[in-house]
Amino acid sequence: MEAILAEELDEEEQLVRRHRKEKKELQAKIQGMKNAVPKNDKKRRKQLTEDVAKLEAEMEQKHKEELEQVKLNSKESKIDSVAVNISNLVLENQPPRISKAQKRRDKKAALEKEREERIAEAEIENLTGARHLESEKLAQILAARQLEIKQIPSDGHCMYRAIEDQLEERKCPLTVAALRSQTAEYIQGHVEDFLPFLTNPNTGDMYTPEEFRKYCDDIVNTAAWGGQLEIYETCIRLRRTLQFCYPVGEHSY
């Protein structure tokens, strides 16, 4: 039971209790020494008094030093504990390290969010803009023919995607890649029919052979927009009629 209680006490309290016990033991020892010396033996009594004083002084000094050492250890321990707590607090308050991969993901997410916000703002503006009014008029024209607008992404492939969609409905499937490849191949095979209509936007001069080759390469390898030349080529090659509806009229190829 005493051992359990001792563990629950701090070091200084345990030391104080031990000192009390040692003092009691010393007093018992001194009492035994006194009983062993006759009262009428003054010489031995005098020596006894000196010995007792020495024993008490030695114990007092010993207890004092031990108590000071315990207090010093306790103080150092508290300082160390405070230092550890401060260190832990600093570490806790530091923001967690972000890996390079996480930074890339965060940057990508931020850019995607910004893009979506721009799209949302543009859509709000379009509700009252000319494009929205144009779409409403076009929808009315198509509705009269029992047709409807089908949204095609404006990603540079929109003309080819629209043709791909219509061909698929007519059981003539051709992918965007195939349409682009065939378009470039046909134009390259009929240079005299198309080259006069291709001019350098900076100089106004007709394309050089190198510029013409690059134009055809861009049709195949990039998201270059398709224009009237590509529409004309597609109609000839596929032997199809493409009809384009506008809010102010229509045009067929």
On the 0-12 / 13-18 / 19+ scale of CB atoms within 10 A, 230 is buried
Q: What is the pLDDT of residue 139?
A: 84
pTM for this prediction:
0.47
Q: What is the pLDDT of residue 50?
A: 81
Q: What is the pLDDT of residue 79?
A: 63
The rounded distance, in Å, linking the Cα atoms of 145 and 126 is: 25
Q: What is the CA radius of gyration of the chain?
A: 50
Strands (E), the chain: 243-246, 249-252
The rounded distance, in Å, linking the Cα atoms of 7 and 242 is: 96
- Encoding tokens for residue 135? 């779409």
Query: DSSP class of residue 14?
Result: H
| CB contact at 8 A, 158 and 224 | no
pLDDT along the chain (253 residues), means of 10: 48 81 83 80 80 82 82 68 59 69 87 81 68 80 84 87 90 91 95 93 92 95 92 90 74 50
Residue with the two structure tokens 């859509």: 123
Q: What is the pLDDT of residue 185?
A: 96
On the 0-12 / 13-18 / 19+ scale of CB atoms within 10 A, 135 is middle
Q: What is the pLDDT of residue 179?
A: 94
Specify the length of the chain in residues. 253
Q: What is the pLDDT of residue 230?
A: 94
Q: What is the pLDDT of residue 224?
A: 92
50: number of Cβ within 10 Å: 10
Q: What is the pLDDT of residue 219?
A: 95
Q: What is the pLDDT of residue 195?
A: 92
